[in-house]
Structure 1
Amino acid sequence: MDIKDITVVVDLGGDRPATGVAIDLAQKLGAHLTGLALAYDPVVPGYAVTPVPVDFMISARNQALDEAKNAQQAFTKLATEAGISSEARIIEVMSGGGLDGIVHDVRLADLVVISEDNPEQPEPVRDALIEAVLFHAGAPILITPRKLSGPVDTSHVLIAWDGSITAARAVRAAMPFLKAAEKVDIAIVDDGKELPTGQRVTAYLARHGITATPTTVPNPKKDVAAALKHYATESGAGLIVMGAYGHNRLLEWILGGATRGMLKDLTIPLIMTH
Structure 2
Amino acid sequence: MVQNIKSVLIGMTEEGIDEPSSALAYGLSLAQKSGAHATIQAASLKVVMGNTFVGNVAAGLVSAHNRRLRQLAADVAQRALGDAAAAGVAASVETPQLSYGQLVDTFVAQARVHDLAVLDAETATVNADRGLIEALLFESGRPLIVVPPGFDTFRHHRVLVAWDGSARATRAVNDAMDILKSAASVEVLAIGSEKELAHEVPGAEIAPHLARHGVNVSVKNLVVGPDGIPAILREQATLIGADLIVMGAFNHSRMREWVLGGVTQSLLEDAKVPLFMSY
Aligned to 1:106, the other structure's residue is in SS state helix
1:273 counterpart residue number: 278
**2:148 is aligned with 1:145:** yes
Give the aligned partner of residue 166 of structure 1. 168
Aligned partner of 1:189 in structure 2 is 191
Cα shift at 1:82 = 1.2
TM-score under structure 2 normalisation? 0.86
Match of 1:117 in 2: 122
Give secondary structure in 2 for the equivalent of 1:55: helix
Paired with 1:198 and 1:130, the residues of 2 have a C-alpha distance of 28
Alpha-carbon offset, residue 192 of structure 1: 7.4
Conservation of the 8 A alpha-carbon contact between 2:28 and 2:84: yes
* Corresponding position of 1:249: 253
Deviation at 1:209, TM superposition (A): 1.2
Equivalent residue, structure 1, for 2:30: 25
- How has the CA–CA distance of structure 1 residues 85 and 237 changed in structure 2, closer, same or farther, with 3 Å as cutoff? same
Residue 159 of structure 1: SS of its match in structure 2?
strand
The one of 241, 244, 247 equivalent to 1:239 is 244
Matches within 5 A, 1:178-217: 178-190=180-192, 194=196, 197-217=202-222
Separation of aligned partners in 1, 2:238 and 2:13 = 26
Correspondence 1:135 to 2:126 = no
Following superposition, the deviation at residue 265 of structure 1 comes to 1.8
Gaps of 5+ in 2: none
Query: Between the two proteins, what is the percent identity of the paired residues?
Result: 31
Structure 2 CA distance for partners of 1:254 and 1:166, relative to 1, 3 Å = closer
Alignment deviations for residues 155-204 of structure 1 (CA, whole Å, 9 cap, x no partner): 00010000011111110111111011111100101257846621221011
Separation in structure 1 between the aligned mates of residue 102 and residue 260 of structure 2, nearest angstrom = 28
Aligned to 2:54: 51
- Quote the residue 2:7 is aligned against: 5
For residues 10 and 265 of structure 1, what CA distance do their matches in structure 2 show? 20
SS at match of 1:214: strand
CA distance in 1, matches of 2:132, 2:21: 16
| Distance across 1 between alignment mates of 2:70 and 2:105 | 18
Match of 1:230 in 2: 235
Contact 1:10 1:71 in 2 (8 A): no
Distance 1:154 1:40 in 2: 33
Cα offset, 1:20, TM superposition: 0.9
8 Å CA contact 1:185, 1:213 repeated in 2: yes
Q: Which residue of structure 2 lines up, in the alignment, with residue 263 of structure 1?
A: 268
Give CA deviations for 1:215-271 in whole Å, capped at 9, x if unaligned.
1122211511111111111121111000000x62369x7796110011012111110
- Looking at structure 1, the residues matched to 138 and 196 of structure 2 have their Cα atoms a distance apart, in angstroms, of 27
Counterpart secondary structure, 1:139: coil
Question: What SS does the aligned partner of 2:89 have?
Answer: coil
How far apart in 2 are the matches of 1:169 and 1:161? 11
Q: Are the counterparts in 1 of residues 122 and 268 from structure 2 also a CA contact under 8 Å? A: no
Unmatched tracts of structure 1, length 5 or more: none
Stretch of structure 1 that moved more, 86-95 or 10-19: 10-19
CA contact (8 A) 2:13 2:129 kept: no
The change in CA–CA distance for 1:254 and 1:97 in structure 2 (over 3 A counts) is: closer
- TM-score, length of structure 1 as denominator length: 0.88
